[in-house]
Structure 1
């Protein structure tokens, strides 16, 4: 675990400490920060920020 931050926990119903676990999903491969945080009291996970994820193009409309 690395960083520690106080955030409102929706499960605990109050501000609690959240820590950022070591990223195992590849979010940091390009040097970005991992968006996942976990409550140190209950374990509720939050995703904070934006993480680019490639997605298939759904279609292309011609004008």
Structure 2
């Protein structure tokens, strides 16, 4: 089991967290962690963003502003 220290809301302090046995096959890279003090679960989520090209930004800036009728 892999271990790291993170802040635990339940314990209100920094506690060691460990990766429980993962049934999804992630192994040590499992996004689920459990506090060794109280057992609270924590999920580490990562996000991937596609880089925006400058040409896309310029095209969006040229769009005419829409007017609304009062």
Bin the TM-score by the shorter chain: 0.5 to 0.7
Does residue 38 of structure 2 align to residue 39 of structure 1? no
1:44 deviation in Å? Answer: 0.3
Larger relative contact order (C-alpha < 8 A, sep ≥ 6)? Answer: 1
What's the C-alpha RMSD, in Å, of the aligned pairs? 2.3
- Please report the TM-score for the alignment, with normalisation by the length of structure 2: 0.58
Larger helix share, 1 or 2? 2
CA contact 1:16–1:40 (8 Å) conserved in 2: yes
- Secondary structure (helix, strand or coil) at the match of 1:17 reads strand
Structure 1 regions of 5+ residues with no counterpart? 52-63
Question: Computing the radius of gyration over CA atoms, which structure comes out larger, 1 or 2?
Answer: 2
User: Counterparts of 2:37 and 2:28 in 1: how far apart (Å)?
Assistant: 26
For residues 1-63 of structure 1, the aligned pairs below 5 Å read 2-24=1-23, 26=24, 28=26, 33-50=29-46
Which aligned segments of 4 or more residues in structure 1 are displaced greater than 4 angstroms? none
Q: How many residues align?
A: 47
Structure 2 regions of 5+ residues with no counterpart? 48-70
